[in-house]
Amino acid sequence: MEQILGNCVHLAGGAKFKDNFMRLITTTLISLFFLANISAQTTDSSLKISHLSGDFYIFRTFNLYKGSRISANAMYLVTANGVVLFDTPWDTAQFQPLLDSIKIRHHKNVILCIATHFHADRTAGLEYYRQQGIKTFTTRQTDELSKKNGMKRAEFLIENDTIFTIGQYSFQTYFPGPGHTADNIVIWFDKEKILYGGCLIKSADADDLGYLGDGNEKRYASTIEKIQRKFKNPKYIIPGHDDWSSTRSLEHTLIMAKQLERKNQ
């Protein structure tokens, strides 16, 4: 290699060229190392966006719970009229980066956000997004609990189960009963068979039903059964935390809820 490089340098004009050439090689290697580090940092970022299907995307943010770093799943939908968020980032530092990422990726603005219950991993960004001109929604029950517990509140209230039509997409909000919290709703996309469950539905690999300090252990199972009866054969089920790749999550949640119900009898 040194002999070949020496021949090239000799043909090009001597020692000065050799110095410049070696400096260029060194600079290039440093730049590649720097870019590799940036790529690694991006992979391990605090905001992770994954494609679900069609115009649907899952975004994950992270926060500390009992000393452990926990992920929270949320979703957005790209429509002809703009982007709809289903829940906000849990990490307050990711409110604007999410908007920026969506703008860069899809060249569209976020126009609407619906939070599925009053806990901070769903509602933390409502006030910020309202200030950005985004229409924010929760149910009236969620708003009452948010006010009572000092959580962020939405600008608009959903009085009953409601069908929204945004651009070419329609979806339904549904309150099946108490479970994870007294106010938890799910969102159903009938045409696409996507069930967005929020924290009411647990991942298929979850060990338990998680935090139930605001929940209803006695009615959790019946609430899940209502969802199963109403929304048949979902192709995708998005739980509030952890893995969302399995459609077994709804059934797994029901099994855990029934076990808890029997334990409390």
Burial class of residue 162, CB neighbours in 10 A (0-12, 13-18, 19+): middle
Same-domain pairing of 152 and 125:
yes
**Counted domains in the chain:** 2
Residue 68 pLDDT: 85
Q: How far is CA 113 from the centre of its chain?
A: 12
Shared domain for 112 and 14, answered yes or no, is no
- Per-residue pLDDT, 35: 37
Are both 27 and 64 inside the same structural domain?
no
- Summary mean pLDDT of the chain: 88
CATH of the domain at 180: 3.60.15.10
Q: Does residue 8 carry a pLDDT above 90?
A: no
Distance (Å, whole) CA 190 – CA 187: 10
**Is 80 exceeded by the pLDDT of residue 51?**
yes
Same domain, 83 and 14: no
Average pLDDT over residues 209-223: 97
- Cα distances from 206 to residues 56, 104, 184, 239, in angstroms, run 24, 34, 19, 10
Q: Are residues 68 and 28 in the same domain?
A: no
pLDDT tens readout for residues 147-184: 999 999 999 999 999 999 999 999 999 999 999 999 99
Q: What's the rounded mean pLDDT across residues 215-239?
A: 97
Q: Tell me: do 242 and 176 sit in the same domain.
A: yes
What is the rounded CA–CA span in Å between residue 76 and residue 58? Answer: 6
Q: Which residue has the higher pLDDT, 189 or 4?
A: 189
Q: What is the pLDDT of residue 40?
A: 34
Burial class of residue 193 (count of CB atoms within 10 Å of its CB; 0-12, 13-18, 19+): middle
Q: What is the pTM of this model?
A: 0.83
Same domain for 202 and 113: yes
Q: Are residues 31 and 56 in the same domain?
A: no
Instruction: Yes or no: say if 134 and 110 are a contact pair by the CB < 8 Å rule.
Output: yes
Q: What range does the domain containing 229 cover?
A: 47-263
Helix (H, G, I), strand (E, B) or coil at 18: helix
Q: Do 73 and 198 share a domain, yes or no?
A: yes
Side-chain-side CA neighbours of residue 94 (13 Å)? 23
